Structure 1
Amino acid sequence: MKKITLLFFTALVATFMWNSGYAQTACSQETLGGAEVEDGYGNLQLLIFANDLVIDADTAFTLNTIQFNVLVTPGVPVTGVQFYFYKNSASGNGPGLELGSTAVQAPTSITNVGTAFGFDLMQVSTDLAVPYTLVGSATESISWVGVTIEYSGASSYMEVVTALNTPNESYFLANGIWVPGSDPIDGFDQAADGVMSFFGNCDAIASCAGMPDAGIALVNPTMGGPGTSYTVSAQGYTVNAGMSFQWQSNTNGAGWVDEGAPTVEVLAYSATAPAQVGDLVEWRFSSTCTNSSETAISGVATFTTTEVEYCDVLFPSGVEPITYVNFAGIENTTSAATGGAPLEDFTAQIASVNLGEAYPIEIKGNTDGAFTTKIVAYIDWNQDGVFDNATGSNEMYLLPDIFSSTGEDGVSSIGSITVPTSAIMGNTTMRVMKRFNVVAAPCNITGYGQAEDYTVEVSDATTSIDENNLLAGTSLFPNPLNGNTFYVNAPKLNGENIEVRIVDLAGRQIFNNTLVVNNNKLTVSVNDALTSGMYLVTLKHAGEVHTYRLIKK
């Protein structure tokens, strides 16, 4: 696990107190900043930071408003916030099972309450679009509320205070593990509470009667690549004794089926995306009052399987470019000038590899002087949308360093990449990265360097495609489509004519043309013919027909 950046403040800064503008109730809990900013933990746009919340015995706390303090780059706004709700862990140390989450929403208000060491200290207040109810037990209990932000700056830090006013210190979620701030290795070596306050209403838990409130279902994220994980949660449902809840799903309109067993509380449900791009999964839950036998059905939330989208990359200190990549059919020379894009998209260039085979790779780059840069390549072999850089990962390839190179001389990094036999066949993404003095993480946000993305087509050399069935080896990208042009990867059909027909889900024809495959791909430009939605793309060649689902954002 990587060390999280700690921003430590030791001096007196602008004097202020954070005073809530919201009336407290018996359930409200405030952790306030003081006249001095003690610490900031980050990055809040990359991690979830959570504070604990005490719930009285036999009480339900309906959370309406959340406020927190965050340090951000001056002039860079917080554009969105998302909150997560958890039970206490079985050990009593940190968050446990996820209960649910909110959708990303814009803050209700953002107020500048000070400055510190070049950062603005912002008080962010959010009235939840749908209030969330945390249910207590027969004795006093602990729940947890986590927060993350949408923000385009390089760094953001949750303000924290070392005077704890809750039973537990703040935790953060990193690589799927909850880490206490006091952890001396992966944390910040200091126990602290996030400056975060919760406002809402307390109600005694009563027995249900009559028709319960149905509530709504939420999915997070709402789209993702085949095989990726997502979470289904709920809001706005009846919270009383005597309730029973059941999750249900409906894939591609095949019909509603129960997921898991009925429960007496609504827990977030962990689901896996279907394998086919374009698959739609609807989610809902039933709320049954066992006293009245009345059942209400929630609103529906939808998950869509899409082509995988990868994290962004930043090199805020400066871009020192990769100038040459040669790998498995890719040979790409680019400018040696510094100061370009931190992440370049070359996914239209495709490397073709076979399971279990090894391929040489050569990288060149400009070190901008007599400096050492570390070279690494990541390949998402399991197509889960994540470049795995854990110790021993088969998706991470450390290559030789480059020292004192202009990027246009004879200096290069030469290594070898072996394709795992467990790799999923089809198209995936390779990210080549170059960074000064340190191996770049897949989602790098600091230092000098550059990254480039390419497409890798994985095949099984022991399985041949019949000459009369060549469309079986094609694939469509990008999907979802943001612009007006997409491509069909067809490496076995160079020079061949392919008929392309696009229809919407109502059967209306949008596009029909015969195009020629060049440089291993077919280029399909639809101008402004497609609006947001789903379409069916049918390819025809030599009597063979193959259809893909295409999503237009």
Structure 2
Amino acid sequence: KTTGATWRSRPPSNSPNRYMPILSRVIAGQLTETNPLESVDNSTWETVSTVARSLNFALTVRDRSETNGVGQMPQSSFDTMIVTVEDVTPFTVFTPPTWGQGSTQTVSWVVGQTTNGTINCQNVNILFSSDGGANFSTTLASNTPNDGSQQITVPTIPDTNNALILVEAADNIFYALSDSFTVSNTPDFSFNNTNGDQSACNIDAVSYNFDYLTSNGFSETTTFSAAGNPTGSSVVFTPANLSSDGSFTMDVNGLTGAAVGDYTITVTGTSTSITKNVDVVLSINNGLCSSVANTTFQTSTTGVIFNTISNLNTGKPSGYSDYTAMSTDINRESSYDLTVYANSDGNFQIITYVWIDWNQNCSFDDAGEQYDLGTSANIVNNPTVNSPLSITVPSEALLGNTTMRVTTKYTAPGANQFPTSCENGADAEVEDYTVNVVASLSVGENVFENFNIWPNPNNGEFTVKLNSNSSDTIKINIYDIRGRQVFNNSYNNTSNFNEVINLGNVQSGIYLLNVSDGFRSTTKKIVVD
């Protein structure tokens, strides 16, 4: 949630540490709660924030009981702190395979954006527990760079199945835990999902990436399988098995028409002597959430400029404006300035956020899809304080049309009532636009003379014709809608280029064909029936 309490006051304690939620719940993987039962020690009704917001904390210290004191008067003091939660990739620790006592091993974690911007955590501490988290008295590394990897020496302890790794910010308050793992000299393997849970909406496939690790000389071949994917879909592993450390990808295909809902897919690694499971979640959505503000006030976005989109002096026709008929083409890995004009409806504060659904999953909650155009005040049809903001199209953004949402919202001074992508009824205005992501281009986008593709649609075989004045070779690259290359070839350049292209047994769908000659380049959509 974006407002309201997420933590509770706990009974007084002589411990200098306060874990939120309590450490036992974190170890159990219970980071959020919905309608929990009341607890005597106030350990329930605590949940981590899953959206960007500000949290206000107060710490109270007392030197003795406030009643029945003897001698000196009881004393107390307090201090306050504001914690800013940002919408970034979660800081997570990979669960190791079995580790042998005294061996040199590598602790791995996902850094995300924790070294950048306002988080700016450059160093971490790595702690070890052999008793399931009852204590983390063993320090494996102190003040080591927050770079996602650190070699350590495993403590010489008796065998245990309850080992845990805790990686904490050395100069901040956040931390992450591994799942329980084993310390023993028994050969073993493990695998971890590295790109998180996925969502799909109006796309046919999603991919999950995994790291595969062995320990203590494990050399058996592990074969991967999955269960729980949506009915009618198929799962492909690349590679299908591994016998040494490496990585693999799980593609879930055929999602068009899958029933809306959340699916827990159990990924199984099976070797001769060991079987292990890892669960991932696939969410099937049927469209973007609605977001409509109220019209009581004139708080609004009054103009948007993004590449070729220029929509100015719009006022506030309603709480939501559908401008998706306005579209612009943007290239992967290229940067574009985004300028938003807004109206604060008087001497009031407003916050403007923009979201772009880069992975086309009909959700704006993914890391890297939210942009802060700033907190402005007392403006009428003027650029927000962070305008123009440079937007770089991610290299992994899916090709094709997607939605850009712009929200300008009133906030009380100091309250930091941030806009959210799916809220309704706020003192705000919401606008949607279309952006079309095309493949990265190394040269300028210039259409060739007499450029033509026929037939289009086709059955995977078609002719490309164009005139070229360059002496360089003609390069043709073809990508599927997810940006995966399905064809590439180079041809001798003639002034009148005419070549039959055969894609073989590709699936039916939309593809993007890019042609370049070192001087000109153009990208066109083709349809394979």
Common fold: TM-score over 0.5: no
Structure with larger RCO (C-alpha < 8 A, sep 6+) = 1
TM category (shorter chain) comes to 0.3 to 0.5
TM-score (norm 1): 0.35
Q: TM-score, normalised by structure 2?
A: 0.37
| Greater fraction strand | 1
